[in-house]
Structure 1
Amino acid sequence: MSREQQVQERLLAIEVQLKQAGLWQAVAPNSEAFASTEPFCVDTMTPLQWLQWIFLPRMQALLDAGAPLPATLAIAPYYEVWLEGEIPQRALLLRCLNSFDQLFESEN
């Protein structure tokens, strides 16, 4: 399986986990929320909103365009801290995020 296929599979797993945990939102944040210049849009979105409305679509857009994927990536540590005791099925979501991050670990 190609790296792109693995990324696609894990993006879908994150989406499925968010939906199964009842964390998927049907309505996007307002347009001003997307204009944030802060990392993870911390001033305008919750971390779960950023994951759903920014991260997943941008990664999908890279795949769809055949664009280069990031050389390194680590989003799970942010969610390990933020999700402390916050959500149902926390462990399952973190497992999905860690699995995703592993695709971007250095192979050195």
Structure 2
Amino acid sequence: MPADPRPLLLGIERELQALSWWEPVAPPPRALASTQPFCIDTLSFPQWLQFVLLPRLQALLDAGAPLPTRIAVYPMAVESFRSLPEDTRALEDAIALLDEALSGRAVERTS
């Protein structure tokens, strides 16, 4: 794991902004309280990244708590972005880097 994974989180944030997917207002609390993986029933995948994954990892870092080591966000990203017209490769790469850093394993990339 890198000494400080914060740059990886910032990289995901930057790519969301570059795609104009960064939202200025959070979804309602009930949408964030979903019990489904990736809040798939209440949020888009980019919303989940912005309002669930990034804040939770940042909170763990701020608290000095251990970060998850079993993480596989990249496959969901690839599947979620598959039919979109936008070029999402840079965001997918940023997510793959985070998966690799936290899990300690290389991610098999699709492109």
TM-score w.r.t. structure 1 length? 0.89
The CA RMSD measured in Å over matched residues stands at 1.5
Residue in 2 that maps onto 1:79: 77
**Cα distance, 1:87–1:99 mapped onto 2, change above 3 Å:** farther
Shift of 1:103: 0.6
Bigger share in helix: 1
How far apart, CA to CA, are the structure 1 residues paired with 2:7 and 2:90? 16
How far apart, CA to CA, are the structure 2 residues paired with 1:87 and 1:99? 23
Shift of 1:4: 4.4
Structure 1 runs of 4+ aligned residues shifted over 3 Å read none
Residue in 1 that maps onto 2:48: 50
Percentage identity across aligned positions?
Answer: 38
TM-score w.r.t. structure 2 length? 0.87
| 1:50-96 Cα distance to aligned partner (Å, 9 max, x none) | 11000000000000000011122110100101101315230111010
Shift of 1:106: 4.0
What runs of 5+ residues in structure 1 fail to find an aligned partner? none
1:29-108 → structure 2 map (5 Å cutoff): 29-86=27-84, 88-106=86-104
